Amino acid sequence: MNPLSIADAFAGLAYSQADLQRQMRIHYDKILDFITSPPFVSLMEEMSYISHLDRPQFVHDVLLNDAALRERSVEVPSGILIQRSAFGDRRPTLFAVKHFLPAEFSNVWQNVNITFDNEYLDGEISRNRDVCWRAPLSPELQALAMSEGRELAELQTS
């Protein structure tokens, strides 16, 4: 049996792989423009000065708070979403900046995003398939565990 080729995967769709890649690039560029803007960079510098244990609360109080963002002159562009995120490998992800792709591409790809993690050493995150592909913790539980200094790799979903 031959594996499915990229060309076969896009056969019958109303767009090509190049069309999808172009849309992804456009929307990644929107995210990059936002996260490299001076107000957002200043906000990230502010967060870098606080303890890694306090960063999940900072995300809640500032990054997920429209009024706190406005106080720091951070204007989130239309179509961009800042949200908590978590992954099965238990990386200490603080938040993600996401942009949905146009609906016509949603049957293949829904969004592009850039995630921001708390401090960790690469070797602390297992690459074992059995561990990496487990269900993620809820973002709220992960944030609480990070703020308590708990080992995320030890936590299980319930």
Position 75 scores a pLDDT of 97
Q: Give me the mean pLDDT over the 142-157 stretch.
A: 79
Position 50 scores a pLDDT of 95
Dihedral angle computed from the Cα positions of residues 80, 86, 88 and 90, in that order, rounded to the nearest 10 degrees: 130
The SS3 of residue 82 is: strand
Domain ranges of the chain: 16-149
State how far the Cα of 59 lies from the Cα of 46, in Å rounded to an integer: 11
Q: For all residues of the chain together, what is the average pLDDT?
A: 87
Per-residue confidence band for 157, with pLDDT thresholds at 50, 70 and 90: confident
The pLDDT tens digits of the residues spanning 111-140 come to 999 999 887 655 666 667 776 666 777 788
Position 100 scores a pLDDT of 95
The pLDDT tens digits of the residues spanning 58-113 come to 999 999 999 999 999 999 999 999 999 988 777 788 999 999 999 999 888 999 99
Nearest to 114 by CA among 93, 134, 145: 93
State how far the Cα of 96 lies from the Cα of 66, in Å rounded to an integer: 16
State how far the Cα of 101 lies from the Cα of 121, in Å rounded to an integer: 32
- The number of residues making up the chain comes to 158
State how far the Cα of 118 lies from the Cα of 48, in Å rounded to an integer: 9
Position 103 scores a pLDDT of 93
The SS3 of residue 131 is: helix
Per-residue confidence band for 1, with pLDDT thresholds at 50, 70 and 90: very low
The two most distant CA atoms of the chain are separated, in Å, by 59
Instruction: Count CB-CB contacts under 10 A for residue 102.
Output: 10
The pLDDT tens digits of the residues spanning 29-48 come to 999 999 999 999 999 999 99
Q: Is the pLDDT of residue 5 over 90?
A: no
State how far the Cα of 45 lies from the Cα of 51, in Å rounded to an integer: 12
